[in-house]
Structure 1
């Protein structure tokens, strides 16, 4: 019975994939004909099937940009960038075009000193790459340690000992960097404001003092959640509480 179920699931997956490819081609054709709203409907139908890709989000961003949909265009460009952070076209359309449509001009407070150096080192690689470097370091350490132990030549023993220590240090350092990267990634919870105008409060209730207002397309960091409110932080380190319905989390798929 189980092989039959697996076969049916495989067949269904192939069918959905084929159907989504057809929808993607149809959406691209509509986009090229200037029918951006119809193209968006096709792209979103693919999303509803559970398929996600940087190309799909990039095209959704382009179509929304053509319709001057500020928040959706930035939101989808950001999701495309999340899946493919090195793509030059995504960066160019996000920074060069879409973000220029936003109203809020918020300065970025740069990191300084030792914290900046550490974060730059941590962000050099992803968590997985740091972990792979650690594994390679351990393997090299074991091989060189065995070479040191069984070698009779003094010069070889000296070289093997020194390099093995360097490998061990590299492995330990990479493990620390992997955990630090994971911690930074967990804290990084960006969202895009979708409300035309949202009143950010000092506390998580509507009667509290208004601290500032945000407009569609502005990117924020979500710090915590309380009932129907999100505590957010801007790039200038300002904080406040915004209704959850006014923003969309980028990392939600």
Structure 2
């Protein structure tokens, strides 16, 4: 018993020591001491470890904002907002950073963006799973007890329609939230006519400009800003969620769901005959 207690106390002590020495804790200490570059370094180390959270991204963005690194700040405010989309402090600081961007025009969220951005991707997946699970339970019940089908008939179209709607919204939310984190992080960068360094300049984007990427090619991205200006910039000039072109998951999943519903309806018609 004494040995077990000793092992437990030792483990708790080591855990507390690791927690106290974590990069996130060190970043907080550096931030409160006014050492913002050290705070950024520690927060980024924590991010690189894969153990992330909304407060981590929020604190990293705050430290970047204090050093006037607007692109890094906006990028991480948006990452924090994806994990905590209804947090008022994150929304307020993001708006403040966007207002500070030179010649900046922040993207305007449409109805779909506001709707899909209200929940996280995990929350949308959970919401979509509830009616889908109930629909599967309904199928199991009428299979076990066919006499229940008449008075449970209303549940089929309601649950099926709700599951389809939420599944589409969940897929759309994943699609929108996965491909929008592209932010200029250089003080200024030239948008060029083509994906080569020798291409003529079209205009300039400044630190913190938020872009929608159209395609990626050999270390260059073709991007469009909120005012619909399009140009090519080096990938070194932007921070991004992953070096990829925007996905097309939503129409693919929607098509598969539609085919699945048609197949289910056709199978049911055949079984009746």
TM interval, shorter chain, is 0.7 to 0.9
| Residue in 1 that maps onto 2:146 | 149
RMSD: 3.3
| Residue in 2 that maps onto 1:189 | 180
| Residue in 2 that maps onto 1:39 | 39
Displacement of 1:248 after TM fit?
0.9
Residues 159-188 of structure 1: CA deviation (Å, up to 9, x unaligned): 4222333223333444444444444445x2
| Residue in 2 that maps onto 1:245 | 236
Distance 1:60 1:108, change over 3 A: closer
Distance 1:73 1:174, change over 3 A: closer
Is contact 1:102-1:218 (8 Å) kept? yes
Displacement of 1:85 after TM fit?
2.1
| Residue in 2 that maps onto 1:58 | 58
Distance 1:247 1:183, change over 3 A: closer
2:129 to 127, 132, 135: 132
Structure 2 CA distance for aligned equivalents of residues 87 and 185 of structure 1: 16
| Residue in 2 that maps onto 1:4 | none
1:169 to 157, 161, 164: 161
Is contact 1:64-1:70 (8 Å) kept? yes
Runs (5+) with no aligned partner, structure 1: 1-10, 152-156
| Residue in 2 that maps onto 1:6 | none
Structure 2 CA distance for aligned equivalents of residues 44 and 100 of structure 1: 24
Displacement of 1:109 after TM fit?
6.5
Q: Any idea what SS the aligned residue of 1:213 has?
A: strand
Residues 79-128 of structure 1: CA deviation (Å, up to 9, x unaligned): 22223222221111111x222220023275675xxxx56x6666665451
1:216 to 207, 218, 221: 207
Is contact 1:196-1:216 (8 Å) kept? yes
Is contact 2:182-2:210 (8 Å) kept? yes
Q: Any idea what SS the aligned residue of 2:27 has?
A: helix
